[in-house]
């Protein structure tokens, strides 16, 4: 069984939608929990703590430099986290299983979409950076993905964000791309863009 520290809130019923939350570098299971409650009232929430430390800052996988990923570690951590997600979903799947990740959390969520697309019905990727070309994945067809990004983000450049959106569209995913004029921080307008997206059934 894959082991993580996590925080959970029960949903309003057995069929309540389930939202997994994945924090950014230096965050923890509390970073996005209130945001999840705001975006999905009545939903079941599971907010996961990354198990990699980068000089004391928690992450979900290792890197060797800014925007340079340890691809072997990414593969191992993605498989481990995907197993955890599958275990938490359990034998009776809710009406919707969704993921929301910010920065490093968005990157690990995207990596799970590439390798285990059956886990999620929809995903919100906030300021992701995928500095590699994923393999084609037919299982992404019909998956709903919202990408939110800043046009002046020094960590997740515009071109890289657009490449990710283009890749997902080539896999026949339903992609919404929301831009704002800010940088890498989360702004109110992108948070509000996620609310109706997650509220779709």
Per-residue model confidence (pLDDT) at position 1? 65
| Angle of CA points 183, 47, 149, to nearest 5° | 20
Active site residue 103: yes
Which entry of 23, 111, 127, 153 is annotated as an active-site residue? 153
pLDDT at position 13: 82
201 classed as catalytic = no
Active site residue 153: yes
* Residue of 47, 103, 121, 127 marked active site: 103
Q: What is the pTM of this model?
A: 0.96
Tell me the per-residue pLDDT of 108-148, one tens digit each, with 9 for 90 and over: 999 999 999 999 999 999 999 999 999 999 999 999 999 99
- So where are the chain's domains? 6-199
Task: Name the nearest CA neighbour of 180 among 160, 152, 201.
Answer: 152
Q: What is the predicted pLDDT for the residue at 201?
A: 54
Give the pLDDT score at 190. 95
User: What pLDDT, on the 0 to 100 scale, is given for residue 106?
Assistant: 98
CATH number of the 6-199 domain:
3.40.50.1820
Instruction: Tell me which residues of the chain have a pLDDT lower than 50.
Output: none
3-state SS assignment for residue 12 = coil
pLDDT computed for residue 14 by the predictor: 76
CA–CA dist 21, 160 (Å, integer): 23
Report how far residue 143's alpha carbon sits from residue 113's, in angstroms, rounded to the nearest whole number. 9
Q: What are all long-range contacts of 75-82, with beta carbons under 8 Å and residues at least 24 apart?
A: 77/51, 77/52, 77/108, 78/108, 78/111, 78/112, 78/115, 79/115, 80/2, 81/2, 81/4, 81/48, 81/108, 81/112, 82/112, 82/115, 82/116, 82/119
Point out the catalytic residue in the list 51, 73, 115, 184: 184
């Amino acid at each position: 069984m894959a082991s993580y520290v996590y925080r959970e809130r029960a949903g309003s019923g057995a069929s309540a939608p389930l939202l997994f939350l994945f924090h950014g570098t230096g965050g923890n299971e509390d970073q996005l929990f209130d945001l999840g409650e705001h975006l999905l009232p009545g939903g079941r929430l599971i907010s996961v703590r990354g198990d990699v430390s980068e000089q004391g800052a928690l992450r979900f996988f290792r890197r060797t430099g800014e925007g340079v990923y340890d691809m072997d570690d990414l593969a191992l951590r993605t498989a481990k986290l995907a197993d955890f997600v599958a275990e938490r979903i359990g034998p009776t799947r809710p009406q919707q299983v969704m993921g929301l990740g910010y920065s490093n959390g968005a990157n690990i969520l995207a990596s799970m979409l590439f390798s285990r697309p059956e886990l999620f019905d929809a995903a919100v990727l906030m300021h992701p950076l995928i500095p590699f070309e994923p393999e084609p994945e037919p299982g992404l067809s019909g998956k709903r993905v919202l990408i939110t990004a800043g046009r002046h983000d020094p960590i997740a450049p515009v071109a890289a964000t657009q490449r990710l959106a283009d890749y997902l569209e080539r896999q026949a995913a339903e992609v919404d791309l929301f831009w704002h004029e800010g940088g890498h921080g989360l702004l109110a307008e992108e948070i509000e863009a996620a609310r109706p997206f997650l509220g779709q059934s």
